[in-house]
């Protein structure tokens, strides 16, 4: 499992392998920039910073609120107790998914910083080696049948294990350098009793993601038949 320790108003969760190395500085992108250890960044609603420390390449992400609430409160959340924070829930879920043998990034560390009734949070995960997202690939070329099967099989396995992803989209599905499929970003995710209703809703969300990006990108190699193939294999694996 993972370690937990308190430092002032910060609670730090850490993978046992890295506990002795982690300081509060690890959660500060400026710290890594000053050491010239930033090796990349992924822009989205929030920036994810990639840094390299010895043999570890990791991703640092701050928790930001979305929607209209986000415009007012940005990164502030009402503190419900440590184990009910989004940070703790995501870190512990990813630790559990690793134990289940699922392809998720290794959770390295997380920090919950409490200030009165509110908290802010950060999480560090190990970068997936040579990762390219589904979006990155589809902007360049179509998926082949093996890749479609890998995606479908991975999604089915997660669903068989009861893994609910709150934001299943083509940015959160990655291929590593060996062609293995990984799923990332488990904020608000959970393990549920397997059920056709939420599984189908997850897949419907993914289908909308393909269509959304198709409308957004001039170059996007995705056909209706690709979805039919992916979904057919997914259903076969789910009921196998």
d(CA 29, CA 213): 29
d(CA 61, CA 57): 14
Judged by phi (left if over 0) then psi (alpha if -120 to 50, else beta), residue 133 lies in beta
Query: For residue 200, what are its two tokens?
Result: 């189908």
**Three-class DSSP category at 139:** helix
Half-sphere exposure of 38 (CA within 13 A, CB side): 15
Q: Exactly one of 167, 178, 180, 185 is catalytic; which is it?
A: 167
Pairing state between β 118-126 and 173-175: unpaired
Specify whether 167 is catalytic: yes
Half-sphere exposure of 125 (CA within 13 A, CB side): 25
Active site residues: 167
């Amino acid at each position: 499992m993972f370690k937990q320790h308190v430092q002032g108003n910060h609670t730090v969760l850490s993978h046992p392998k890295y506990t002795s190395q982690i300081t509060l500085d690890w959660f500060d992108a400026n710290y890594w920039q000053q050491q010239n250890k930033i090796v990349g960044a992924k822009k989205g609603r929030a920036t994810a910073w990639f840094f390299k420390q010895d043999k570890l390449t990791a991703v640092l992400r701050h928790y930001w609120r979305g929607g209209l609430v986000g415009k007012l409160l940005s990164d502030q959340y009402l503190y419900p107790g440590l184990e009910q924070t989004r940070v703790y829930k995501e870190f512990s879920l990813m630790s559990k998914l690793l134990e289940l043998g699922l392809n998720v990034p290794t959770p390295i560390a997380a920090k919950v910083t409490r200030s009165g009734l509110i908290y802010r949070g950060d999480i560090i995960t190990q970068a997936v080696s040579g990762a390219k997202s589904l979006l990155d690939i589809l902007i360049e070329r179509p998926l082949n049948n093996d890749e479609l099967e890998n995606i479908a099989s991975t999604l089915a396995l997660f669903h068989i294990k009861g893994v609910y992803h709150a934001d299943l989209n083509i940015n959160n599905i990655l291929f590593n350098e060996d062609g293995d499929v990984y799923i990332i970003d488990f904020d608000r995710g959970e393990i549920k009793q397997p059920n056709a209703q939420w599984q189908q809703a997850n897949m419907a969300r993914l289908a909308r993601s393909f269509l959304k990006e198709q409308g957004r990108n001039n170059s996007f190699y995705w056909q209706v038949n690709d979805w039919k193939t992916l979904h057919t294999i997914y259903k076969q694996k789910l009921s196998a």
